Amino acid sequence: MATGENRVGFYCLDVGQASCSAFLYGRPVRAILVDAGGPANEILYFLNHFQISRIPAIIVTHNHQDHNSAVVNIVGQYENRVGTIYFLQDKDIKDPFYSALRFLKKKYRVHLKRLETEDVSEGRKLNIEKCPFDVFCCYPDFASNLTAQSIPNPNLTSAVLLVSVRGVRGLKKVPRVRVLFCGDLDIAGWQYLLARGPTISADILLAPHHGGPQGDPSLHSSIIERVFPDGHGYVLMSFGMDNNYGLPNPSFVQACVERGAVVLCTEKSRYCWETPESVNVQPIFTTIDFLPDRSGVNCAGTIVAYLHDGCLEIPGISAFQSQLPDTCLCRKKGA
């Protein structure tokens, strides 16, 4: 079983050069997806493995295929068991993705809701059915989203989401565990958010743009300091080994390491080692059997975290880190 009665399982899936994360909870098990990019058959295999009974929400941070390509297949497979698709209108309304959403609404009775917040300084809580944790949209606001449509550049207003899992131990409330998603938000968007936005401190950060935001790197340290004010946390990066986008971004990784955050990447990259194919590491979750074998490509692979009673547990993290050579980008300070 993916989760206990009071435990939320968080999965950052290794889907190559794409992004898909899932929160699993309850009995029978439900799933909330944040982005659904990558091979649809792999994501469906994952959902079927855990016998997901319903998907209350699929939240799409922005309209790029590496974040939304599997949405149609997932809804088609689950038919009337998908509640709401949250999305941004960050392209022309004639874009094929919006046509697909209208088709899904008509055929499978899925609800469609816009994701923007009215006020970036306060954020917006999403009303997701029978969800035991809180999901907030911190960015963009409606005005910013109009700008993205006019350029057009969906990365400018890629949604920033904060998931806050309530902590209760016995009759006592304990601190929440928080996960921050940044889609592909670029530096211009971060400048706007940091100047006006709400508190975005978190325990886990899904790195913007898979491995660091595009644009002037001078803001990288400011981003990490805002997310990890206490100087510790986990940064997850989802990218493909053969990517040509410079991922992970060395400047962003260094900002994370200098702040004391632990960096975990789904796959290896020549930007971490000169010859990643020569480095053999076992994935962080070696007993995983619900995704294809990515031996030779994986670094941490699919990353699993359990959130419960105000605690955060990432199984196998110590053994995984002990394998990494000191020459790895995420292990070097002051590189």
Give tens-digit pLDDT for 24-81: 999 999 999 999 999 999 999 999 999 999 999 999 999 999 999 999 999 999 999 9
Per the CB < 8 A criterion, the answer to whether 98 and 72 are in contact is no
For residue 100, the one-letter residue type is A
C-alpha–C-alpha distance, residues 334 and 123, integer Å: 35
What's the whole-model pTM score? 0.95
Which range among 41-50, 133-142, 246-255, 307-316 shows the weakest confidence by mean pLDDT?
307-316
- Per DSSP, the three-state class of 163 is strand
pLDDT computed for residue 166 by the predictor: 80
- For residue 292, pLDDT over 80 is answered with no
What tens digit of pLDDT does each residue of 242-273 get? 899 999 999 999 999 999 999 999 999 998 88
Q: How confident is the model at residue 87 (pLDDT cuts 50, 70, 90)?
A: very high
- For residue 146, pLDDT over 90 is answered with no
Mean pLDDT of the chain: 90
- For residue 286, pLDDT over 80 is answered with no
Query: Residue ranges of the alpha helices (H) in 115-249?
Result: 142-150, 187-196, 220-227
- Per DSSP, the three-state class of 219 is helix
pLDDT computed for residue 151 by the predictor: 79
Q: Give the CB-side neighbour count of residue 320, counting CA atoms within 13 A.
A: 23
- For residue 2, pLDDT over 50 is answered with no
pLDDT computed for residue 214 by the predictor: 86
Sheet holding 204-206, edge to edge: 124-125, 133-139, 160-169, 172-181, 204-206, 234-237, 262-265
The torsion angles phi and psi of 177, rounded to 5 degrees, stand at -100, 130
C-alpha–C-alpha distance, residues 325 and 265, integer Å: 14
Burial (CB count within 10 angstroms: exposed 0-12, middle 13-18, buried 19+), residue 226: middle
Buried b / exposed e along 238-272 (16+ C-beta atoms within 10 A) = bbbbebebebbbbbbbbbbbbbebbbbbbbbbebb
Both structure tokens of 59: 């939240």
Q: How confident is the model at residue 8 (pLDDT cuts 50, 70, 90)?
A: very high
C-alpha–C-alpha distance, residues 84 and 230, integer Å: 35
What tens digit of pLDDT does each residue of 169-180 get? 554 555 789 999
Burial (CB count within 10 angstroms: exposed 0-12, middle 13-18, buried 19+), residue 280: exposed
- For residue 280, pLDDT over 90 is answered with no
Sheet holding 303-308, edge to edge: 111-114, 82-87, 54-59, 30-36, 20-25, 8-12, 303-308, 311-313
Q: Which neighbouring-strand residues pair with 36?
A: 20
Compute the average pLDDT of residues 293-310.
86
Q: How confident is the model at residue 113 (pLDDT cuts 50, 70, 90)?
A: very high
Burial (CB count within 10 angstroms: exposed 0-12, middle 13-18, buried 19+), residue 67: buried
| Domains observed in the chain | 8-324 (3.60.15.10)
